[in-house]
Structure 1
């Protein structure tokens, strides 16, 4: 890919229409058909768009968040992505700015790529900023290798609503200082590898029970509450320096002069709070404009794109009506507003594209990094594991996979029976443990989101409840700590959260049970 010209040269040579094209960042899908790829190439050539945001497939896109379209598995997604980026860059007159959501690595969008721990796990570490910085750096290096300039991360929403259907595990926790410090460390690591970042979802998406992919959430708090909590990470991180801020689709009347308009199209929130009160000078990018929180309210093509730009967004992410959007902005916008946004975008592109590549920068070994994080994050909620050290016990594995490293690791040192619900029925398990007192219970939910009780079947929940009432239970959770909200964990002899279902985390948890390591983590959220 060729370098990009200076802003001065571009400003003089690009027409007003071409400058407006630079505002647009439509979605690109890794698993598109050849016909769909050609259509996007045509759009790039004819409309001179400024960048692309990559998603796995149309079935996995934002508006199908809880949809029923079948998601295609493509084990060659990474090589497909690399080839598509090169192909789309060739179609562009000006170099494209390539972005992706890689909050926990390219694995968020791409199969067979490294997946790093969720933010909620990182937030459980005490004195773990160096490890979070390294996570940011490793993810950034993966992005760079793929041809991506911009990781639309980290999430700096404060996780203060356990029923949040879309943020939850993506947040570092409920403490504003913890969220801020961890996000700054992530940004530092990402920046060192030469990749751009974006903090999201301004003004703060944590305290919502509505998924903005599907509808517009309302946060009805007063200004003092918002300023002290939701806005705190944004205030601090903007002051410390960040490339861009992503605007969420949220209704926050206290910040919008009483209006229930979405923050993503609110001049009061973007130009008022972010630009004026927080003095943010960088690029403002909208959250995906196809999300139903806003898109379903503006059926006229180009209207939403205009409203988003007029409110203060520089980059229109996942704009579905690029051609009509360009025409509407060209018709309505003044030259000064266009030039200001164009300048911010172009300088960001210069920063991303014209940098000197540092080939000496190396990623830390993946397994080593995960093991360190697992040791620092594992959290003892109640009790201790000494109860079972010399007593006989039975293992019960609520897992949706055939093998569990947690139990097989313990089995190397202790003789015990264990049963997996994937191959042993609940009646069979009850019969086998009828006369047993001590149970080592491992729970690994099939889903990290809280809807439908993490997709754990109701008969499994019934068994868990019965075990906690009738047996001596030591419990290990490999997933969201919010699983604990659905069970009486105080009835356990010990309850431990290991956060991730990775092999490294299961090995660490096994060693914790065996008394070889201490639990160093602290819950980053409150369990009711």
Structure 2
């Protein structure tokens, strides 16, 4: 974006209203209608917003409409995204900073784009930060190929609550040094490509049982405990010079002198703690202001935007009341407040646009995903060689038509009968396995989130526990390891965690079945058997 040079030189000419407009980051949607696109163009032209955050559609979970509107799948989402970015940039008086959530790649928001493993999978890799660096680098390449400057990742929340409804698999795990080490590698990989990263969700969303999209989580730990654990990755990475941090919507009285207001709206949290005590000099971006943890409590248009800015947020993400928000800030903010935030944002834009002229192509994930599959594969319990040379049956707990890649690949090497929950009821499977001794069981949870038992029917979990009790069962889990909290794992002969259902992870698991490789991964979270 060569026209950013005169843009840099012209920064002193921006009016106070334009400077405030630069602090707003409305949401943009890949699958918008022409009418909705024109409305965003109007926002850009009239209010000089400084950035956009892209989401898949207005029916996605991040927009609080999950289940209320039908999600439209667009095979050409990536091409549509590129065209929209170019279109929005063309109407902007000052070039826009474009952001997206790409924690595990553009696939987090966009169909038919490269997907990398979840953070929890990367957290299972002992010591090999080169792979996480490569993931950060390749995701950044994909962002650049689309025209995106700012990846709102990585998550540095320490997930020590197995029932966390919104973080979980998005965290590198429960151990602070592991989280910090993996996050730093991701950040350095992204920085190599010139794409900005963002730590989230300050001061730590890991130990929560409430999704802040829907309500305000309350964390009642002491300040000493929070400083020692939740704040540790943030402080260490601030010391490394991270450019941006996202303020989460969390109520943490111990860090705010007893105040229970959301951390994203707290001066004590953002100005006193983050800026003064922790010495953060970069850009603070709010978590999405449409989220119900904050939005439902401020019905007056512009009030929430003002409170978020006044608390210390430099960028107001997913602000829905742009005109009213700008006006309220104009009426209430001091010139120094505006100038400080504007200068921080402007420096960030300068950093972002220095790298944007370097062309980039979409990355190829297969090689690095295969390396991650092998490095993360975890022998969680027992040994797996017990019946490799004996008769066994394969049992697939899966909503997809069998055979899975795992069993299809294994069948090329061994002969065994295969049964599946896709083709048989639990009762039929119970009868068919009645006289069997050895069972190789592959579990594919439908979802990575813990709600509704990861969408695994309870009767299927009951069947697994019955088999653990009466048979020699080796379980291969291709999904979130927290699933094991719902199983009687002490009864299983062996448990292997593969973390993802990608082709590369299933094929790597077969290599382990055949004793061609070892499992060197270490589960990054604690599991308690029922």
Confirm or deny that 1:502 pairs with 2:502.
yes
Q: Deviations over 1:43-62 (max 9, x none)?
A: 11000100100000000052
| Unaligned 5+ runs, structure 2 | none
Confirm or deny that 1:84 pairs with 2:84.
yes
Query: Which residue in 2 is equivalent to 1:292?
Result: 292
1:77 CA drift (Å): 0.6
| Alignment check: 8 A CA contact 1:157 1:200 kept | yes
Q: Deviations over 1:290-309 (max 9, x none)?
A: 00000000000000000000
Query: Which residue in 2 is equivalent to 1:243?
Result: 243
TM-score (norm 1): 0.98
| Alignment check: 8 A CA contact 1:441 1:473 kept | yes
| Alignment check: 8 A CA contact 1:62 1:290 kept | no
Q: Deviations over 1:323-343 (max 9, x none)?
A: 100000011001011011001
Q: Deviations over 1:427-466 (max 9, x none)?
A: 3322322211011111001110001100001221121121
How many residue pairs get matched?
Answer: 527
Q: Secondary structure at the match of 2:200?
A: strand
Query: Which residue in 2 is equivalent to 1:371?
Result: 370
Write the distance in 2 (CA, Å) between the matches of 1:48 and 1:460: 54
Write the distance in 2 (CA, Å) between the matches of 1:300 and 1:389: 66
Query: Which residue in 2 is equivalent to 1:276?
Result: 276
| Alignment check: 8 A CA contact 2:145 2:362 kept | no
Alignment of 1:48-447 (within 5 A): 48-64=48-64, 66-355=66-355, 357-358=357-358, 365-402=364-401, 403-447=403-447
Query: Judging changes above 3 Å, is the alpha-carbon distance between structure 1 residues 356 and 470 closer, same or farther for their aligned structure 2 residues?
Result: closer
Query: Judging changes above 3 Å, is the alpha-carbon distance between structure 1 residues 507 and 391 closer, same or farther for their aligned structure 2 residues?
Result: same
Write the distance in 1 (CA, Å) between the matches of 2:158 and 2:423: 39
TM-score (norm 2): 0.97
1:390 CA drift (Å): 1.2
Query: Judging changes above 3 Å, is the alpha-carbon distance between structure 1 residues 387 and 123 closer, same or farther for their aligned structure 2 residues?
Result: same
1:11 CA drift (Å): 3.6
| Alignment check: 8 A CA contact 2:195 2:355 kept | no
Write the distance in 2 (CA, Å) between the matches of 1:32 and 1:442: 39
1:64 CA drift (Å): 2.3
| Alignment check: 8 A CA contact 1:20 1:338 kept | yes
| Alignment check: 8 A CA contact 2:394 2:439 kept | yes
1:469 CA drift (Å): 1.4
| Alignment check: 8 A CA contact 1:3 1:353 kept | no
Q: Secondary structure at the match of 2:415?
A: coil
Query: Judging changes above 3 Å, is the alpha-carbon distance between structure 1 residues 297 and 335 closer, same or farther for their aligned structure 2 residues?
Result: same
| Alignment check: 8 A CA contact 1:393 1:439 kept | yes
Alignment of 1:452-471 (within 5 A): 452-471=452-471
Query: Which residue in 2 is equivalent to 1:483?
Result: 483
Q: Secondary structure at the match of 1:445?
A: coil
| Alignment check: 8 A CA contact 1:7 1:346 kept | no
Write the distance in 1 (CA, Å) between the matches of 2:295 and 2:322: 14
1:63 CA drift (Å): 4.1
| Alignment check: 8 A CA contact 1:6 1:350 kept | no
* Aligned-CA RMSD value: 1.4
Query: Which residue in 2 is equivalent to 1:45?
Result: 45
1:354 CA drift (Å): 2.9
| Alignment check: 8 A CA contact 2:223 2:255 kept | yes
Write the distance in 1 (CA, Å) between the matches of 2:501 and 2:366: 14
Query: Judging changes above 3 Å, is the alpha-carbon distance between structure 1 residues 156 and 140 closer, same or farther for their aligned structure 2 residues?
Result: same
Write the distance in 2 (CA, Å) between the matches of 1:139 and 1:364: 7
Write the distance in 1 (CA, Å) between the matches of 2:367 and 2:5: 41
Write the distance in 2 (CA, Å) between the matches of 1:455 and 1:240: 40
Query: Judging changes above 3 Å, is the alpha-carbon distance between structure 1 residues 223 and 334 closer, same or farther for their aligned structure 2 residues?
Result: same
| Alignment check: 8 A CA contact 1:7 1:343 kept | no
Q: Secondary structure at the match of 2:245?
A: strand
1:406 CA drift (Å): 0.7
| Alignment check: 8 A CA contact 2:142 2:363 kept | no
Point out 4+ residue stretches in structure 1 off by more than 6 angstroms.
Answer: 361-364
Query: Judging changes above 3 Å, is the alpha-carbon distance between structure 1 residues 175 and 116 closer, same or farther for their aligned structure 2 residues?
Result: same
Write the distance in 1 (CA, Å) between the matches of 2:228 and 2:67: 36
| Unaligned 5+ runs, structure 1 | none
